[in-house]
Chains A and B, each alone.
Chain A
């Protein structure tokens, strides 16, 4: 362990000029030198900020949004447990309704319960998409303003003029493609048949991914009860997920559609596909 600093450089050459042999980096710091070092440091910090903004912060905020979703689900579980003790017959098992022209799946456990629309910016549901990650669970709040989409505790916003989960019509949500948790960063990786679960206090609504389209930002027809067909009474239950396209731009919108398949009342427990996630989130 030698101390590098005072190590004698050339002990055998005392005849040379000592000043020349001294280490040149010992020279005094100049104003220009310090300024240069500060400029380099500033440049590095700006690059770090960019990396933080487009990548690292999405991981941090995404994890915060996921833990907020887990907390919501835990709250619903507690509510369900409390109401189950209060009234042992939850209304989730009402008789299957013979709705004309309603084509949901044959294993329908009854008409899905449709909750009343919540107040603005209140988190009322979780979005669970296994294709976007084994732990992908983000809270959905009412409204699509920056207070919802740019929020560390929500991230996914429900278009207030569209229907609620499980309702006949269109349940439309929006999330960022990049930054602020980037809820829909990988929305383009969905494959036909992928499951999309919307979890609420009542249970899990299963939608199946059907297709994607790209529209201009003005293409609000995707929010119609029958997407892109204005003024038509809907008989289907669909989910519409909107986000920006391409990455780091808002020039276009990417729209992913799913069709309702069935729903799972909370009393019956989560569907098998997402049971590990639901249980892991509860811990």
Chain B
């Protein structure tokens, strides 16, 4: 899969490397700022306060 993506990328080696870096950065940003906060909502935090 990743090999296929690598072959799919156009340009000489350095262009491909830059493209990969940009793609990885975009994926990481999407995870950190969008996916992870959404996933975090699915976990119910433990109730840490005791009753009155």
Chain A interface residues (CB < 8 Å from chain B): 1-5, 25, 29, 33-34, 37-38, 45, 48-49, 52-53, 56-57, 144-146, 150, 161, 174, 179-180, 217-218, 220, 244, 250
10 A-B pairs with the lowest CB-CB distances in the bound complex, closest first: A250-B48, A34-B1, A37-B1, A52-B36, A1-B12, A217-B50, A49-B36, A4-B13, A144-B49, A218-B50
CA separation between A145 and B31, bound complex, in Å?
28
Bits for B25-43, please: 1 = Cβ < 8 Å to A, else 0. 0001001100011011000
A217 to B4, CA, bound (A): 54
Q: Quick one: closest B residue to A144, CB to CB?
A: B49
- Name the B residues within 8 Å of A161 (CB-CB): 52
Type the 1/0 row for B10-31, where 1 means its CB is closer than 8 Å to any CB of A: 0011100000000000001001
Q: Is the CB of A146 within 8 A of B45?
A: yes
7 example contacts (A-B, Cβ-Cβ < 8 A) are as follows: A3-B13, A45-B31, A48-B36, A53-B36, A53-B40, A220-B50, A244-B48
| Alpha-carbon separation in the docked complex, A218 to B48 (Å) | 11
Smallest CB gap from A40: residue in B: B2
Shortest Cβ distance from A61 into B: residue: B37
* A250-B1 CB under 8 A given contacts A3-B12, A48-B31: no
Q: List, in ascending order, chain B residues with CB within 8 A of A37's CB.
A: 1-2
Q: With A145-B49, A174-B49 given, can you name 9 additional A-B contacts, CB distance below 8 Å? A: A5-B7, A25-B3, A37-B1, A48-B36, A53-B36, A57-B36, A146-B45, A146-B47, A244-B48
CA distance A48 to B30 in the complex (A): 12
Nearest CB on A from B23, distance (A): 13
| Residue of B with least CB distance to A176 | B48
Given A145-B49, A250-B48 in contact, is the A49-B39 Cβ separation under 8 Å?
yes
* Bound Cα distance A5, B12 (Å): 9
Name the distance in Å between B50's Cβ and chain A's nearest Cβ.
5
In the bound complex, what is the Cα–Cα distance between A34 and B5 (angstroms)? 12
A180 to B37, CA, bound (A): 11
Are B1 and A52 in touch, CB under 8 angstroms?
no
CA gap between A4 and B6 in the complex, in Å? 12
Smallest beta-carbon distance A157→chain B, Å: 9
Using known A-B contacts A37-B2, A48-B31, determine if residue A250 contacts B36 with beta carbons closer than 8 Å. no
B47 to chain A, nearest CB (A): 8
User: Which single member of B1, B32, B48 contacts A217 (CB below 8 Å)?
Assistant: B48
**A34, B3: Cα distance in complex, Å:** 10
A1 to B45, CA, bound (A): 54
Residue of A nearest to B14 (CB): A1
Does B1 lie within 8 Å of A29, measured CB to CB? yes
Chain A hits for B31, CB < 8 A: 45, 48-49, 52
Query: Cβ of A56 and Cβ of B46 under 8 Å apart?
Result: no
Cβ-closest chain B residue relative to A52: B36
Q: Is the CB of A52 within 8 A of B2?
A: no
